[in-house]
């Protein structure tokens, strides 16, 4: 496989984008009862690349103007996994978190986030209706956050390996096989370094082993769960790396001979845009995905700045720029139009039309959702997946 220097790739991608300062409407002033004075500071726990201030590239900056308009100076703590986000919010000292569905319900049930008054977020009704009342941030009609981003876990693959035979199934990362280039997939695939990946195994088994009766990859009875864990043990013999750092995974694809892996559109689109022989696909079994919510810590010291940020985050320019940078789908769909960085086909390329194929991340509980209380809870997903990665 042709190799290229990653730093040069990054420069190429940045140069390809049109320089654009973050514009649009001003952050809405806080409303409601009590003091509305902005406190001058805001701390956010976020996924890497979610809160950009132009330090990585001047093209991508949706913090500087917010600070200038509100006086709320933003600090960001990057978290690599949902479990790390939950741990940080449990420790406290933060105002907001961009939580995925496998963390948001834990934060709600654990009392670490507070209900959000959506009347203080005037643009809330501009959000995609499919996300406005989603169960990963809405409980008994009460909102515990504001949708921020959504995306799918695609299958990324090397076209020099697969040639004219692109993969159509997740079997390429779960079952040992000879790839179209004539070599085994052993040592050339990767898997996500997070317990929620058990759902990816379950989603594959839903089609591969229909006798298991899997209907929901997040609601697994004991036999279904054991089958998923056994598949992951089998997969471990094929693994090149369990990834959680997007940039390390991109380097592995360009320089370490990785042929296929579950990934995010962020990695696939950036690599392809930089000239790497990379494509992505949503396989026939469908895909898991993440819909992330900005949630307010129960003990936030900067509530008014937090509400100002939640409104600012729904600015269509911010949403479009975030989608261009992270290769996600905006939570307000009008952001797909007229954004120079995103381009006319950006949202489609990022998975806009795949919404109904996605099994959205959420926290597994004993409640199967159909009256049964026999499903395997998340803490067992954690201990078992750690054991798999450790070779047990």
Residue 1: the pLDDT is 39
Residue 48: the pLDDT is 85
Same fold, 17-151+290-358 and 154-263+363-389: yes
What is d(CA 177, CA 181) in angstroms, rounded to the nearest whole number? Answer: 11
Instruction: Give the pLDDT confidence of 81-130 residue by residue, as tens digits.
Output: 899 999 999 999 999 999 999 999 999 999 999 999 999 999 999 999 99
Global pTM reads 0.84
Residue 281: the pLDDT is 94
What is d(CA 14, CA 351) in angstroms, rounded to the nearest whole number? Answer: 22
Q: What angle do the packed helices 378-389 and 222-236 form, to 10 degrees? A: 20
What is d(CA 172, CA 358) in angstroms, rounded to the nearest whole number? Answer: 19
pLDDT classification of 41: cutoffs 50, 70, 90: very high
φ/ψ (deg, to 5) at 298: -65, -25
CATH architecture of 154-263+363-389: 3-Layer(aba) Sandwich (3.40)
What is d(CA 167, CA 125) in angstroms, rounded to the nearest whole number? Answer: 39
Q: Is the pLDDT of residue 242 over 70?
A: yes
Residue 11: the pLDDT is 34
More confident residue, 220 or 28: 220
Question: Where do the domains of the chain lie?
Answer: 17-151+290-358, 154-263+363-389
Q: Which of 202, 134, 252 is nearest to 364 (CA)?
A: 202
pLDDT classification of 15: cutoffs 50, 70, 90: very low
Dihedral of CA atoms 70, 72, 75, 77 in degrees, nearest 10, equals: -80
Burial of 381 (0-12, 13-18, 19+ CB in 10 A): buried
Q: Is the pLDDT of residue 14 over 50?
A: no
Q: Is the pLDDT of residue 353 over 70?
A: yes
What is d(CA 263, CA 280) in angstroms, rounded to the nearest whole number? Answer: 9
Residue 49: the pLDDT is 85
Distant-in-sequence, close-in-space partners of 151: CB < 8 Å, separation ≥ 6 = 264, 265, 266, 289, 290, 326, 327, 328, 329, 350, 351
Which parts of the chain fold into alpha helices (H)? 6-16, 64-70, 82-91, 101-109, 129-132, 159-162, 171-174, 198-208, 222-236, 246-255, 265-273, 303-312, 316-326, 346-349, 378-389
Q: Which residues of 230-266 are buried (b: 16+ CB within 10 A; e: fewer)?
A: ebbeebeebbbbebeebeebbbbbbebebbbbbbbbb
What is d(CA 392, CA 384) in angstroms, rounded to the nearest whole number? Answer: 9
Distant-in-sequence, close-in-space partners of 107: CB < 8 Å, separation ≥ 6 = 86, 89, 97, 99, 113, 144, 295
User: Maximum Cα–Cα distance for the chain, whole Å?
Assistant: 68
φ/ψ (deg, to 5) at 76: -125, 135
Q: What angle do the packed helices 101-109 and 82-91 form, to 10 degrees? A: 30
Say if domain 17-151+290-358 classifies as CATH 3.40.190.10: yes
Residue 7: the pLDDT is 40
The answer to whether 82 touches 31, Cβ cutoff 8 Å, is no
Q: Which of 120, 94, 119 is nearest to 107 (CA)?
A: 94
Instruction: Give the pLDDT confidence of 163-174 residue by residue, as tens digits.
Output: 989 999 999 999
């Amino acid at each position: 496989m042709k190799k290229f220097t990653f730093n040069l790739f990054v420069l190429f991608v940045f140069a390809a984008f049109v320089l654009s300062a973050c514009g649009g409407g001003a952050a809405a002033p806080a409303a409601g009862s009590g003091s509305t004075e902005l406190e001058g500071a805001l701390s956010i726990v976020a996924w890497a690349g979610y809160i950009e201030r132009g330090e990585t590239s001047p093209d991508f900056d949706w913090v500087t103007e917010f600070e200038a308009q509100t006086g709320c100076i933003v600090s960001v703590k990057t978290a690599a996994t949902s479990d790390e986000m939950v741990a940080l919010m449990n420790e406290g000292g933060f105002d907001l978190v961009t939580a995925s569905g496998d963390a948001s319900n834990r934060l709600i049930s654990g009392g670490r986030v507070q209900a959000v008054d959506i009347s203080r977020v005037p643009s809330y009704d501009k959000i995609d209706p499919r996300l406005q009342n989603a169960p990963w941030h809405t409980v008994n009609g009460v909102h515990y956050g504001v949708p921020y981003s959504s995306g799918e876990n695609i299958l990324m693959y090397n076209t020099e390996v697969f040639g004219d035979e692109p993969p159509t199934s997740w079997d390429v990362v779960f079952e040992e096989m000879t790839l179209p280039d004539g070599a085994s997939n052993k040592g050339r695939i990767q898997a996500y370094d997070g317990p929620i990946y058990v759902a990816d195994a379950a989603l594959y088994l839903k089609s591969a082993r229909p006798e298991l009766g899997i209907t929901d990859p997040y609601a697994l009875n004991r036999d279904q769960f054991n089958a998923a864990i056994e598949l992951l043990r089998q997969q471990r013999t094929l693994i090149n790396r369990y990834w959680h750092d997007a940039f390390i995974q991109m380097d592995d694809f360009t320089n370490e001979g990785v042929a296929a892996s579950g990934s995010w559109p962020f990695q696939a689109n950036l690599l392809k845009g930089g000239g790497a022989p990379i494509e992505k696909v949503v396989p026939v079994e469908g895909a898991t995905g993440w819909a992330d919510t900005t949630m307010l810590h129960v003990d936030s010291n900067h509530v008014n700045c937090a509400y100002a940020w939640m409104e600012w985050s729904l600015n269509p320019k911010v949403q479009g720029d975030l989608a261009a940078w992270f290769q996600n789908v905006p939570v307000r769909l009008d952001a797909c139009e007229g954004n120079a960085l995103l381009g006319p086909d950006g949202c489609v390329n990022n998975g806009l039309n795949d919404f109904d194929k996605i099994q959205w991340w959420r926290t597994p509980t004993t409640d199967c959702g159909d009256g049964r209380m026999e499903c395997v809870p998340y803490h067992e997903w954690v201990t078992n997946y750690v054991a798999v990665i450790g070779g047990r």
